[in-house]
Amino acid sequence: MACCPNERTDITTMNTRQFLPLLALVAALQVHAGPGHDHGDEAPSNAGVALPRFAAISDAFELVGVLDGKTLTLYLDRAASNEPVPQASIELELAGAKLSPKTQTDGSFVVTLAQAPGDGSHAVTATITVGEETDLLAGELDLHLDNGKADEHAPVGWKRWGIALMGGGLGLAALAAFLRRKRSTSFGAAA
């Protein structure tokens, strides 16, 4: 009678071992989202707005411009120390228009453009004057306006493919383990 409880435990363990790969296969097949849960082909939303910007750098200064509609905000720093230079005078030329940005209390400079620049690359030159020191910086503002339209030929996200491949791989591994276990159990019973 002592052998029967052990045999019962072995059979239960063997059935559980055979059942686990099948359970893994079923779980792997559930990785793919069904209708209403796949978010369709809509473009992913951004966490924040990425505004167009340019950078112009010399040995003495670094100038960064951030465009928000028709408002251009400039940040001028010393190249060596990254220290802001609020006492500077800036004469800016953007796409052929001469502009004079005004110093703000936070050390930045702001200028309002007559109209927002159009699509494409726009040359930017800045003459920086600080006391007796003068420097000329050049950069390029590159605008690619998409008017909110998503590229209909954009590839499917790598995450979706990665999840699908991982789920398929797990499913195949579970199926192989199940078949291997079933075959070894069948051969063991015949012997």
64 within domain boundaries:
yes
Q: Is residue 59 part of a domain?
A: yes
In a domain, 154, yes or no: no
Give me the pLDDT at residue 33, please. Answer: 58
How many domains is the chain partitioned into structurally? 1
Domain-embedded: residue 169: no
Residue carrying the six token digits 């159009």 = 118
Flag whether 187 is in a domain. Answer: no
What's the domain range around 91? 53-143
Confirm whether 108 is domain-assigned: yes
- The string over 111-121, giving b where at least 16 C-beta atoms fall within 10 Å of a residue's C-beta and e elsewhere, is beeeeebeeee
Q: In this predicted structure, what is the pLDDT of residue 154?
A: 47
Q: DSSP state, 18?
A: H
Token pair in block for residue 149: 């339209």
Give CA–CA dist 89/97, Å, rounded: 17
The answer to whether position 171 is within a domain reads: no
Distance CA(171)–CA(25), nearest Å, equals 4
**CATH number for the domain that contains residue 112:** 2.60.40.10
Reading the block at residue 157, the tokens are 């996200």
Give domain status of residue 150, yes or no: no
Element (H, E) at 140: strand 133-143
pLDDT per position in the chain (191 positions), as tens?
A: 445 554 444 444 556 566 666 666 666 665 655 555 655 566 666 566 788 999 999 999 999 999 999 999 999 999 999 999 999 999 999 978 899 999 999 999 999 999 888 889 999 999 999 999 999 999 999 988 665 444 444 455 666 666 777 777 777 777 777 777 776 666 555 55
pTM: 0.54
pLDDT of residue 11: 46
Question: For residue 87, what are its two tokens?
Answer: 């006492």
Instruction: Report pLDDT for 167.
Output: 74
